[in-house]
Amino acid sequence: MASSFPIPVRALALSVAATLISGFAGGPALAGASGPFLAHQALYELKLVKSRGTNAISGARGRILYNFSGSACEGYTSEFRQVSELDSGEGKLTLSDLRSRSWEDASGKSYRFKIDTRMNDADSAPIDGVAERAGDRITVKLKQPVAKTFELDGKIVFPTEQIKHIIAAAREGKSVLELMVYDGSDNGEKVYNTLSVIGQPIPGTRSIASPDPSTANDQMKTLTRWPVTVSYYDRDAKAKDGEQTPVYAMSFELFENGVSRALVLDYNDFVISGAMGRFDVRDSKPCK
């Protein structure tokens, strides 16, 4: 991961991401299981926090623009774009442009996704597919990068489901949650094992050391949020000495309506922060 730092689209469900992350991809920003998701647009400014290891870098910057809309009746649509620049030193820059659009049925039965990634002047690498849940199996049909149909374990969740489970676990006072997640990223076939660590709830009445547009919004001021860290593991990779290093990890504060703030993206060799620079609540159609 030393050449770029695109957020996994799941994550976006998740946080942005949000959580990361339908989006972090992740993601970062969806919504709570017992309340409506908040339709919104958020802009995050990315910058390098620390560099470590043998692949140390000298600089990183970028932006994430995230749009979320929909309802429990019509499903949820996420649009995500991340443009980032990585400086490996000696004037060597890597520019990446990740765009994705996804739609997820509110009951987790269907998930459609289109992802396009460009690195420097290279041709784009599009991913296009749909996943349908039936019984204890999920059938994925890819159009790109190659036409292919395959099945996944029905216990795997999609990005919006992932956020719902995290918020439900937080409300129940749980501190750890393990889920298998599929978001269509990588080559369209990757499944991640995830471990979510959930901190103590932060009431909306508590003072904020580093406020941003989300904490200043009247609709957000009274809401509870939780500090969450989600680690993503390659399900197909074998653990060494009984332990496995995550491919990446995302930390953020997750509001009960699904909005995420204070992103931190750890790619092992370096860590990127994502401060919210803009936050706008969008109109949404209530279920009839």
Asked whether residue 274 is assigned to any structural domain, the reply reads yes
CA-CA distance, 72 to 94, in Å (whole number)?
A: 39
Query: Has residue 11 got a pLDDT over 60?
Result: no
Q: Domain limits at 53?
A: 9-96+155-281
Asked whether residue 150 is assigned to any structural domain, the reply reads no
Residue 55 neighbours by CB under 8 Å, 6+ apart? 2, 269
Asked whether residue 112 is assigned to any structural domain, the reply reads no
Asked whether residue 114 is assigned to any structural domain, the reply reads no
Kindly calculate the radius of gyration of the chain based on its CA atoms and give it in whole angstroms. Answer: 18
Asked whether residue 147 is assigned to any structural domain, the reply reads no
The predicted pLDDT at position 239 comes to: 57
Q: Which of 26-30, 129-133, 135-139, 189-193 has the lowest mean pLDDT?
A: 26-30
Average pLDDT over residues 225-237: 91
Structure tokens, 153: 């374990």
Asked whether residue 142 is assigned to any structural domain, the reply reads no
Asked whether residue 105 is assigned to any structural domain, the reply reads no
Write down the residue that tokens 């009247």 correspond to: 218
Asked whether residue 179 is assigned to any structural domain, the reply reads yes
pTM, rounded to two decimals: 0.84
- pLDDT category at 36 given cuts 50, 70, 90 is low
Burial class (CB in 10 A: 0-12, 13-18, 19+), 288: exposed
- pLDDT category at 27 given cuts 50, 70, 90 is very low
Query: Has residue 57 got a pLDDT over 60?
Result: yes
Total count of domains within the chain: 1
SS3 148: strand
